[in-house]
Amino acid sequence: MVENCTVTICDNGTVIKKHLTCANRRPAVKVFNENGCCFHYECESVCSLWSKKHYMTLYRVGYISHQFCEYFLVREIIHKSSLSVSVDNHKCDPADGSFCPQAVTVSFESYRILLTQLKDVGNVVYVNQKRVYPAYSNYDLLLTGTDMAITLEIPAIKLKVVYRKDYFSIYLPYSLFSGNTEGLCGTCDNSQVNECCYPNGSCSDCADTWLVPGLHERPVSARSMPNHADP
Protein backbone atom coordinates (compact mmCIF):
# COMPACT_ATOMS: atom_id res chain seq x y z
CA MET A 1 0.00 0.00 0.00
CA VAL A 2 1.29 3.44 -0.93
CA GLU A 3 -0.13 6.95 -0.71
CA ASN A 4 -3.87 7.39 -1.28
CA CYS A 5 -4.34 3.67 -0.57
CA THR A 6 -3.07 2.76 -4.03
CA VAL A 7 -1.84 -0.81 -4.46
CA THR A 8 1.27 -1.41 -6.53
CA ILE A 9 2.66 -4.71 -7.78
CA CYS A 10 6.22 -5.99 -7.40
CA ASP A 11 7.13 -8.06 -10.46
CA ASN A 12 10.61 -9.62 -10.29
CA GLY A 13 11.97 -6.70 -8.29
CA THR A 14 10.23 -4.03 -10.39
CA VAL A 15 7.43 -1.95 -8.89
CA ILE A 16 4.55 -1.59 -11.34
CA LYS A 17 1.66 0.82 -11.00
CA LYS A 18 -1.01 0.14 -13.57
CA HIS A 19 -3.18 2.88 -15.04
CA LEU A 20 -6.81 2.05 -15.67
CA THR A 21 -7.89 2.46 -19.30
CA CYS A 22 -11.60 2.96 -19.95
CA ALA A 23 -13.10 1.52 -23.13
CA ASN A 24 -15.41 4.52 -23.50
CA ARG A 25 -12.43 6.91 -23.32
CA ARG A 26 -13.88 8.70 -20.31
CA PRO A 27 -11.38 9.45 -17.52
CA ALA A 28 -11.41 7.03 -14.60
CA VAL A 29 -12.98 8.45 -11.44
CA LYS A 30 -12.12 8.08 -7.77
CA VAL A 31 -14.50 5.89 -5.78
CA PHE A 32 -14.10 6.14 -2.00
CA ASN A 33 -14.86 3.39 0.46
CA GLU A 34 -17.61 3.78 3.05
CA ASN A 35 -15.49 5.56 5.66
CA GLY A 36 -13.94 7.86 3.05
CA CYS A 37 -10.31 7.15 3.92
CA CYS A 38 -9.33 5.13 0.84
CA PHE A 39 -10.30 5.13 -2.79
CA HIS A 40 -9.80 3.20 -5.98
CA TYR A 41 -10.35 4.12 -9.62
CA GLU A 42 -13.27 2.97 -11.73
CA CYS A 43 -14.48 3.63 -15.25
CA GLU A 44 -17.72 5.57 -15.57
CA SER A 45 -20.38 3.61 -17.43
CA VAL A 46 -22.63 6.02 -19.33
CA CYS A 47 -25.32 5.24 -21.91
CA SER A 48 -27.10 7.93 -23.95
CA LEU A 49 -30.00 8.18 -26.38
CA TRP A 50 -31.02 11.21 -28.43
CA SER A 51 -33.46 12.03 -31.21
CA LYS A 52 -35.22 8.70 -30.52
CA LYS A 53 -32.84 6.73 -32.73
CA HIS A 54 -29.23 7.60 -31.88
CA TYR A 55 -27.74 5.31 -29.22
CA MET A 56 -24.38 5.38 -27.48
CA THR A 57 -23.72 2.32 -25.33
CA LEU A 58 -22.01 2.25 -21.95
CA TYR A 59 -18.65 1.84 -23.66
CA ARG A 60 -19.11 4.15 -26.61
CA VAL A 61 -20.47 1.95 -29.36
CA GLY A 62 -22.69 4.24 -31.42
CA TYR A 63 -25.53 3.01 -33.61
CA ILE A 64 -28.91 4.00 -35.02
CA SER A 65 -32.15 2.11 -34.45
CA HIS A 66 -35.44 3.12 -36.06
CA GLN A 67 -37.60 0.87 -33.89
CA PHE A 68 -40.66 2.43 -32.26
CA CYS A 69 -41.57 0.06 -29.46
CA GLU A 70 -40.55 -0.30 -25.82
CA TYR A 71 -37.08 -1.71 -25.19
CA PHE A 72 -34.88 -2.50 -22.24
CA LEU A 73 -31.86 -0.23 -22.17
CA VAL A 74 -30.47 -1.68 -18.95
CA ARG A 75 -31.60 -4.81 -17.16
CA GLU A 76 -29.90 -6.81 -14.42
CA ILE A 77 -28.89 -10.32 -15.43
CA ILE A 78 -28.87 -11.53 -11.82
CA HIS A 79 -31.59 -9.66 -9.96
CA LYS A 80 -30.07 -7.87 -6.99
CA SER A 81 -32.14 -4.68 -6.86
CA SER A 82 -34.70 -5.54 -9.57
CA LEU A 83 -33.32 -2.67 -11.67
CA SER A 84 -34.38 -2.09 -15.24
CA VAL A 85 -34.47 0.99 -17.44
CA SER A 86 -36.62 0.96 -20.56
CA VAL A 87 -37.50 3.48 -23.27
CA ASP A 88 -40.73 3.84 -25.21
CA ASN A 89 -40.25 5.76 -28.46
CA HIS A 90 -43.64 6.80 -29.82
CA LYS A 91 -43.88 6.89 -33.59
CA CYS A 92 -45.61 9.89 -35.13
CA ASP A 93 -45.78 11.96 -38.30
CA PRO A 94 -44.28 15.43 -37.71
CA ALA A 95 -46.41 16.72 -40.59
CA ASP A 96 -49.63 16.25 -38.62
CA GLY A 97 -48.31 17.97 -35.51
CA SER A 98 -48.47 14.86 -33.34
CA PHE A 99 -46.98 15.09 -29.86
CA CYS A 100 -44.80 12.01 -29.40
CA PRO A 101 -42.41 12.26 -26.44
CA GLN A 102 -40.02 9.60 -25.31
CA ALA A 103 -40.98 7.87 -22.09
CA VAL A 104 -38.26 6.43 -19.84
CA THR A 105 -39.27 3.96 -17.14
CA VAL A 106 -36.95 3.09 -14.25
CA SER A 107 -37.96 0.09 -12.15
CA PHE A 108 -36.20 -0.38 -8.83
CA GLU A 109 -37.43 -2.71 -6.09
CA SER A 110 -41.08 -1.67 -5.55
CA TYR A 111 -40.75 1.61 -7.46
CA ARG A 112 -41.69 2.40 -11.03
CA ILE A 113 -40.58 5.88 -12.06
CA LEU A 114 -41.74 7.34 -15.36
CA LEU A 115 -39.94 10.31 -16.94
CA THR A 116 -41.74 11.82 -19.92
CA GLN A 117 -43.44 14.97 -21.22
CA LEU A 118 -46.97 16.31 -21.39
CA LYS A 119 -48.12 18.61 -24.13
CA ASP A 120 -48.10 22.29 -23.07
CA VAL A 121 -46.57 21.23 -19.72
CA GLY A 122 -43.09 19.88 -20.45
CA ASN A 123 -41.11 17.37 -18.41
CA VAL A 124 -43.11 15.38 -15.86
CA VAL A 125 -42.43 12.54 -13.43
CA TYR A 126 -44.66 9.79 -12.09
CA VAL A 127 -43.72 7.55 -9.16
CA ASN A 128 -45.90 4.45 -8.99
CA GLN A 129 -48.45 6.20 -11.26
CA LYS A 130 -48.71 9.27 -9.05
CA ARG A 131 -47.36 12.52 -10.42
CA VAL A 132 -44.66 14.18 -8.32
CA TYR A 133 -42.95 17.51 -8.69
CA PRO A 134 -39.16 17.74 -8.53
CA ALA A 135 -37.58 18.53 -6.18
CA TYR A 136 -38.88 15.32 -4.62
CA SER A 137 -37.21 12.84 -2.33
CA ASN A 138 -37.89 9.97 -0.01
CA TYR A 139 -35.71 7.36 1.65
CA ASP A 140 -34.85 5.74 -1.68
CA LEU A 141 -35.22 8.35 -4.43
CA LEU A 142 -33.97 11.85 -5.19
CA LEU A 143 -35.51 13.88 -8.02
CA THR A 144 -34.40 17.35 -9.02
CA GLY A 145 -35.51 19.34 -12.02
CA THR A 146 -35.32 22.51 -14.07
CA ASP A 147 -37.26 23.64 -17.11
CA MET A 148 -34.65 21.85 -19.24
CA ALA A 149 -33.93 18.58 -17.45
CA ILE A 150 -34.96 16.15 -14.73
CA THR A 151 -32.38 14.17 -12.76
CA LEU A 152 -33.26 10.96 -10.94
CA GLU A 153 -30.78 9.54 -8.42
CA ILE A 154 -31.05 6.30 -6.47
CA PRO A 155 -28.31 6.56 -3.81
CA ALA A 156 -28.43 2.91 -2.71
CA ILE A 157 -27.22 1.75 -6.13
CA LYS A 158 -25.55 5.03 -7.18
CA LEU A 159 -27.70 5.22 -10.32
CA LYS A 160 -28.32 8.53 -12.09
CA VAL A 161 -30.65 9.22 -15.01
CA VAL A 162 -30.75 12.65 -16.66
CA TYR A 163 -33.81 13.25 -18.87
CA ARG A 164 -34.22 16.11 -21.31
CA LYS A 165 -36.69 16.86 -24.10
CA ASP A 166 -35.14 14.60 -26.70
CA TYR A 167 -32.05 13.28 -24.92
CA PHE A 168 -31.21 11.33 -21.81
CA SER A 169 -28.27 9.60 -20.16
CA ILE A 170 -27.91 6.72 -17.72
CA TYR A 171 -24.94 6.59 -15.33
CA LEU A 172 -24.12 3.23 -13.73
CA PRO A 173 -21.47 2.51 -11.07
CA TYR A 174 -19.07 -0.14 -12.33
CA SER A 175 -18.44 -1.51 -8.84
CA LEU A 176 -22.12 -2.47 -8.39
CA PHE A 177 -23.08 -3.55 -11.91
CA SER A 178 -19.91 -5.05 -13.37
CA GLY A 179 -20.83 -8.02 -15.56
CA ASN A 180 -24.49 -7.82 -14.56
CA THR A 181 -26.26 -5.74 -17.21
CA GLU A 182 -27.81 -6.44 -20.58
CA GLY A 183 -29.93 -4.48 -23.04
CA LEU A 184 -29.53 -1.83 -25.71
CA CYS A 185 -27.00 0.03 -23.54
CA GLY A 186 -24.66 -2.96 -23.56
CA THR A 187 -22.77 -4.81 -20.88
CA CYS A 188 -21.13 -3.13 -17.88
CA ASP A 189 -17.72 -4.76 -18.28
CA ASN A 190 -15.39 -2.05 -19.66
CA SER A 191 -15.28 -3.76 -23.06
CA GLN A 192 -16.73 -3.02 -26.49
CA VAL A 193 -16.55 -6.63 -27.63
CA ASN A 194 -19.94 -7.85 -26.46
CA GLU A 195 -22.06 -4.72 -26.48
CA CYS A 196 -25.82 -5.21 -26.95
CA CYS A 197 -25.86 -8.85 -28.09
CA TYR A 198 -24.76 -12.21 -26.75
CA PRO A 199 -22.35 -13.55 -27.77
CA ASN A 200 -21.76 -10.79 -30.32
CA GLY A 201 -23.46 -8.97 -33.16
CA SER A 202 -24.73 -5.62 -34.37
CA CYS A 203 -26.57 -3.52 -31.80
CA SER A 204 -29.11 -2.25 -34.33
CA ASP A 205 -29.78 -5.77 -35.66
CA CYS A 206 -30.51 -7.29 -32.27
CA ALA A 207 -32.84 -4.60 -30.90
CA ASP A 208 -35.80 -6.99 -30.77
CA THR A 209 -33.83 -9.14 -28.32
CA TRP A 210 -34.55 -6.47 -25.71
CA LEU A 211 -38.21 -5.81 -26.52
CA VAL A 212 -40.24 -5.34 -23.33
CA PRO A 213 -42.71 -8.25 -23.07
CA GLY A 214 -46.51 -8.11 -23.49
CA LEU A 215 -48.71 -5.22 -22.47
CA HIS A 216 -49.65 -6.79 -19.13
CA GLU A 217 -45.97 -6.71 -18.11
CA ARG A 218 -44.97 -3.39 -19.66
CA PRO A 219 -44.16 -0.28 -17.65
CA VAL A 220 -47.03 2.21 -17.73
CA SER A 221 -47.06 4.18 -20.98
CA ALA A 222 -46.99 7.95 -20.95
CA ARG A 223 -50.13 7.90 -23.08
CA SER A 224 -52.08 6.30 -20.25
CA MET A 225 -50.96 8.82 -17.64
CA PRO A 226 -53.21 11.62 -16.36
CA ASN A 227 -52.22 15.18 -17.23
CA HIS A 228 -52.57 16.43 -13.67
CA ALA A 229 -51.38 15.54 -10.21
CA ASP A 230 -53.35 13.05 -8.18
CA PRO A 231 -55.15 14.57 -5.20
Nearest to 111 by CA among 137, 82, 132: 82
- This prediction has a pTM of 0.80
Domain that holds residue 138: 45-222
Q: Is residue 171 a part of any domain in this protein?
A: yes
Task: Please say if the pLDDT value at position 225 is more than 60.
Answer: no
150 found inside a domain: yes
Residue 160 forms part of a structural domain: yes
* Alpha carbon distances (Å) from 98 to 93, 95, 195, 218: 6, 8, 34, 23
Residue 35 lies in a domain: no
Q: What's 110's domain CATH number? A: 3.40.1000
Residue 141 covered by a domain: yes
Instruction: Please tell me the total count of domains within the chain.
Output: 1
Considering the domain boundaries, does residue 30 fall inside one? no
| Residue 23 counted as domain residue | no
- Whether 40 maps to a domain, the answer reads no
pLDDT at 216: 35
Of 6-20, 40-54, 143-157, 165-179, minimum mean pLDDT range: 6-20
Cα–Cα distance between 71 and 67 in angstroms, integer? 9
Tell me the residue type at 196.
Answer: C
pLDDT digits 0-9 by tens, 158-189: 999 999 978 999 999 988 999 999 999 988 98
For 23-74, write each residue's pLDDT tens digit. Answer: 888 888 888 777 777 777 888 899 999 988 889 999 988 888 877 888 999 9
| Whether the predicted pLDDT of 3 surpasses 60 | no
